[in-house]
């Protein structure tokens, strides 16, 4: 594996349990076991850790900004309590028909993250996601991706579809396992 400096994470299904009914309040935001500790390990290894997350519940009017901010505050606090932190958090609040450039599968959020963190060499970044949209966004941004099967979608179908776009993509059970792979590649 090439030398990495930055790991871009999807939120729902990677850091926390996802729901087809959206995460609409802080009580519904529940970390996947091992995910917060994995973020801490990435940070301890000197990597930048970011979040790039579609949050269309905002644009759909299912959640207001204050409630969304409360969910994000819980995520950040729980991550810090586990010894981790985020260098940047990018969120697309738009619905799928809003015509924005940030919503995955488009690369806007990832490109925004590169600019915000002054990442010149995209080969030093990798995306960890649980959906084909995550892989498509990584591909469009010119970076590699890893999949985790901890989301609520059909992981095997997502993996097979993703291999057509990125033949060497790998899938792991969760962020903890993906992190172990990333860190082993950095040694």
Count of residues for the chain? 187
DSSP for residue 2? P
- Distance, in Å, from the CA atom of 56 to the CA atom of 39, rounded to the nearest integer, reads 24
Domain ranges of the chain: 19-94+102-129+136-149+165-181
Q: Which of the following is catalytic: 10, 18, 112, 144?
A: 10
Count CB atoms within 10 A of the CB of residue 84: 21
φ/ψ (deg, to 5) at 63: -150, 140
pLDDT of 1 reads 52
177 is catalytic: no
- Distance, in Å, from the CA atom of 38 to the CA atom of 177, rounded to the nearest integer, reads 8
The angle that helices 35-44 and 175-185 make with each other, rounded to 10 degrees, is 20
Q: Which of the following is catalytic: 12, 18, 112, 130?
A: 12
- Distance, in Å, from the CA atom of 99 to the CA atom of 94, rounded to the nearest integer, reads 8
- Three-class SS state of 151: coil
pLDDT of 187 reads 57
Helices marked H in the chain — which ranges? 35-44, 56-59, 65-81, 108-116, 132-141, 155-165, 175-185
pLDDT of 146 reads 98
What tokens were used for 160?
């097979």
Question: Which regions of the chain are under pLDDT 70?
Answer: 1-2, 186-187
97 is catalytic: no
pLDDT of 185 reads 84
Angle among Cα 131, 116, 7 to the nearest 5 degrees reads 40
Domain 19-94+102-129+136-149+165-181 classified CATH 3.40.50.1000? yes
172 bridge partner residues: 148
pLDDT of 186 reads 67
pLDDT 10s digits, 104-137: 999 999 999 999 999 999 999 999 999 999 999 9
- Distance, in Å, from the CA atom of 109 to the CA atom of 23, rounded to the nearest integer, reads 20
């Amino acid at each position: 594996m090439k030398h990495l400096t930055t790991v871009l994470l999807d939120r729902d299904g990677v850091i926390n349990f996802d729901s087809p009914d959206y995460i609409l309040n802080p009580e519904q935001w529940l970390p996947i076991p091992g995910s917060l500790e994995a973020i801490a390990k990435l940070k301890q290894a000197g990597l930048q850790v970011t979040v790039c997350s579609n949050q269309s519940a905002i644009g759909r009017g299912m959640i207001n900004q204050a409630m969304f901010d409360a969910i994000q505050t819980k995520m950040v606090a729980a991550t810090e309590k586990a010894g981790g932190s985020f260098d940047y958090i990018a969120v697309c609040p738009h619905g799928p028909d809003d015509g924005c450039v940030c919503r995955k599968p488009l690369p806007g959020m990832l490109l925004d993250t590169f600019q915000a963190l002054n990442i010149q060499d995209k080969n030093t970044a990798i995306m960890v996601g649980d959906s084909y949209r995550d892989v498509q966004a990584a591909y469009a941004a010119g970076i590699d991706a890893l999949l985790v099967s901890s989301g609520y979608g059909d992981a095997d179908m997502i993996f097979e579809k993703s291999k057509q776009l990125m033949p060497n993509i790998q899938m792991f059970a969760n962020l903890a396992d993906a992190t172990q792979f990333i860190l082993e590649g950095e040694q």
